[in-house]
Chain A
């Protein structure tokens, strides 16, 4: 299980489900200058960039991944803006060809000896920060289930879809347990849909990352999110280890009270897929956007 080779004939699906409620405009605790929505948009754009680069074969982008970005707040909608906004699940080659804009900047990278060199890089932008309305998590998960059912009817074989859900608060439209479990019951011949949840907080609270049991969780909401988080397959655990994140047998794809570094790792681990080496962009300093 969770070992199918991802190919153009048997692509996999990645759903980035993002809480865009009004509270996402609050800053992280201890970082009053940075809104959660700004940081999440930046990480999601980096994640999409890395997924495109991973599928790039010389001048062609191969459709190993089909990607959905779904936001929820004032309503449930496509997180993509521009030409992709009307589409639910988009082949990665189309994602590559339709960013909203491409920013240029410089990145400091190791020169292989003791120093650093600056190289020009381009950062495409697909989503803008958004923070508006309540937290209709059940409606959003119901939408995810619908689009996954449709996708799975056309792709019954291959590596199963991964849903990376990021939220900063409790659901405003009911308990997400039932719909979460329904999503987790879907699957392909290679395994059930992977639903991973990352909860982030503006409060200064202890974070819990990839727990294997509910014991360390502070409240019922955290336990519900734990229960609708899939166990991390071994290849994802290996990816976590490469990033220095400790997991154990039975660890769930779940973070509670996460901070900015938790978000970055959550997306890196969640898109590592079948043991591919996760991309390390946070250790490369970005300078002087133009």
Chain B
């Protein structure tokens, strides 16, 4: 409660689930969720499966962004990515790599990223978000989708999105696709941060008017079983799944 963004009027209820691809271990999961409730910052990063050291890059992006205080303007985000990329590449410099790893490392690493900052101190809670790639923010009110970014339809997901690159010259080619947006919340609004497979699945549910908030009635084990079944039936792609759910609630006055 010491953060400048916490408030005595509003509170956040957070829930999350992180699942590796079916048949893989958690240690192989390349999705990461970052959460700093004091700072009211949350993020999802999804390391590109084909990239070098994607797991570390995704973890670095998700965990360090929520602890930072800036990176919510294009310039600040570009600068923050450059710093993080440099640190990642420095961590490789002492490694004795075989030729193929050395070749792969030259192009750096890649991840989709969405970060969310919520300010509960204002009369109306407000959010700001930054996203690059196909990790998404969905803003829902009374079961209706009122905003989705950076992608807004389930048909928009493809296998080659522009991502956050750790290599500066490659990042330069994708930085124009950075999306920064903001919005305001009402009591009981729900915000989801999602990696791509889950985002496509959620958007499809909204498009088909079959959305129901799974988190309201399921614990982590039940959610894991639900998504595993969705994979088996082919309704969700067998990819890592990261879902961060944030519900804005007015504090009850006792």
Chain A interface residues (CB < 8 Å from chain B) = 5, 7, 9, 49, 52-54, 56, 58-59, 61, 96-97, 99, 102, 109-113, 117, 119, 121-122, 124, 275-277
Q: Which residues of chain A are within 8 angstroms of B205 by Cβ–Cβ distance?
A: none
Q: Would you call the interface of chain A mostly helix, strand, loop, or mixed? A: mixed
**Which B residues are closer than 8 A to A by beta carbons?**
23, 50, 52-53, 55, 95, 97-104, 106, 159-160, 168-173, 238
Contact A111 B95 (CB under 8 A): no
Collect the chain A residues with CB atoms within 8 Å of residue B97's CB. 59
When A and B form their complex, which 8 residue pairs have the shortest distance between CB atoms, in order from nearest? Answer: A112-B172, A112-B169, A56-B104, A277-B160, A56-B100, A59-B101, A111-B169, A122-B99
User: A58: shortest Cβ distance to chain B, in Å?
Assistant: 5
Residues of the B chain whose Cβ atoms lie less than 8 Å from the Cβ of A102 = 99
Give the CA-CA distance A147 to B4 in the complex, in Å.
67
For B171, list chain A residues within 8 Å (CB).
112
Asked whether, in the complex, the Cβ of B23 is within 8 Å of the Cβ of A112, the reply is no
Give the CA-CA distance A117 to B168 in the complex, in Å: 12
Pick 21 A–B contacts, CB within 8 A, sort by A.
A53-B100, A53-B103, A56-B100, A56-B103, A56-B104, A58-B53, A59-B97, A61-B100, A96-B100, A102-B99, A109-B169, A110-B169, A110-B173, A112-B173, A122-B99, A122-B102, A124-B99, A275-B159, A276-B159, A277-B159, A277-B160
| Chain A residues positioned under 8 Å from B169 (CB to CB) | 109-113, 117
> Given contacts A111-B169, A112-B173, is CB(A5)–CB(B98) below 8 Å?
no
Q: A112-B169, A113-B172 are in contact. Are A59 and B103 (CB under 8 A)?
A: no
In Å, the complex CA distance between A9 and B23 comes to: 9
Bound form: Cα–Cα A225–B112 in Å? 43
B95, B99, B171: most-surrounded residue (chain A CB, <10 A): B99
A121 x B103 contact (CB < 8 A) = yes
Chain B residues within 8 Å of A5, by CB: 238
Min Cβ gap B175→A in Å is: 9
Q: Considering the chains assembled together, what is the distance between the CA atoms of A110 and B103 in angstroms?
A: 16
Indicate if the CB atoms of A112 and B100 lie closer than 8 Å: no
For A9, A53, A124, which residue has the most chain B Cβ atoms within 10 angstroms?
A53
A56 and B159 in contact, given A112-B168, A121-B106 (Cβ under 8 angstroms): no
B50 CB contacts on chain A under 8 angstroms:
54, 276
A276 vs B66: C-alpha distance in the bound complex, in angstroms? 32
For residue B174, which residue of chain A has the nearest CB?
A: A112
Q: Give the distance in Å from the alpha carbon of A122 to the alpha carbon of B101 in the complex.
A: 11
Set B95, B103, B168, B238: member contacting A122, Cβ < 8 A = B103
Quote the shortest CB–CB distance from B176 to chain A (angstroms): 11
State in angstroms the CA–CA spacing of A238 and B141 once bound together.
Answer: 38
Give the distance to chain B from A93, nearest Cβ to Cβ, in Å. 9
Give, as a whole number of angstroms, the nearest-CB distance from B123 to chain A: 43
Residues of B within 8 A of A58 (CB): 52-53, 55, 101, 104
Q: How many whole Å from B14's CB to the nearest CB in chain A? A: 31
B residues within 8 A CB of A61? 100
Q: Which of B53, B55, B104 contacts A53 (CB 8 A)?
A: B104
Q: How far is B97's CA from A121's CA once the two chains are assembled, in angstroms?
A: 14
A residues less than 8 Å from B103 (CB atoms): 49, 53, 56, 121-122
